[in-house]
Amino acid sequence: MSVPSLRNLFQANRYPGRSVVWARTLDGAMCGGYLLTGRSQASRARALRLRDHELVVGPTEPAENDPLRHYVAAAQRDGWLVFGNGEQVATVADRLLEGQPAAVALDGLNYEPDPPIFTPRITVIVDVSAPANAWFGAARRSLGDRTSTNVLTLSVRDLAPGDAVLMTTYVSDGHRILTGEPFLEGLTTAADQEELLDELWEALDPYYRVAAATFTPHGLAKATLRHQG
């Protein structure tokens, strides 16, 4: 079975919602990526900003705080890098600082209370001292009538240069929106962090893309950022 390119995966999904990516670029460096897309005016009026050791999603203009749209998307704390699509990032980071193992820190999370979509909470944990390994977590609602949360935990190990793993909250043609696949594997041709950002940004549908960032395990404060407009 052939592995698709990151570019093809995103081009086939016009509206992926929010996405997390963990990849090894061709220079051998491990890189994370966080991507925002939006349909509504409120979702599109957002930006990614660096604040201390955090990457924050906030409004582009003064607005009432909306925890489903405004949150810490990535945090670097005492040897851990955590990034994801909501307030669970801070929760998971706190659990890691308390000494909980990664799989335990990802447990007990819930999907977002936004019917009828019930957006998954997607999270990545990286041990900065061993960045070849990462843990992905997804808190997802059942496709049936059951309201309890399905929690998926994925351990990703020893990515080769060019390998990437990602989660998206949605899969959509721009009209019908479904919960994204549990996880996807892809290939990148990016030589480094900056080229990975270029590759991801160019693959997003310009109509929906809002912001994106790429960063290394040790270098969240030096993340590269991109914004629509």
d(Cα 32, Cα 86) in Å, to the nearest integer?
16
Report the pLDDT value the prediction gives residue 29, as an integer from 0 to 100.
96
- For the chain, list the domains and their CATH numbers: 6-227 (3.60.20.20)
Split at pLDDT 50, 70, 90, the class of 98 is very high
- Angle, alpha carbons 56-161-185 (nearest 5°): 65
pTM, two decimal places: 0.96
Mean pLDDT of 90-111: 96
The pLDDT-based confidence of 177 (bands split at 50, 70, 90) is very high
The full length of the chain comes to 229
What mean pLDDT, rounded, does the chain reach? 95
Q: What pLDDT is stored for residue 179 in this prediction?
A: 95
The per-residue pLDDT for range 20-67, each reduced to its tens digit, is: 999 999 999 999 999 999 999 989 999 999 998 899 999 988 877 888
The proportion of the chain whose per-residue pLDDT surpasses 90, expressed as a percent, equals 85
Q: For residue 229, what pLDDT is reported?
A: 73
Cα distances (angstroms) measured from residue 171 to each of 176, 180, 181, 188, 214: 9, 5, 7, 20, 22
Tell me the H-state helices in 12-145: 41-44, 88-97, 102-105
Residue 135 half-sphere exposure, CB side, CA atoms within 13 Å?
21
Q: How many Å apart are CA 121 and CA 144, to the nearest integer?
A: 18
DSSP 8-state secondary structure symbol assigned to residue 93: H
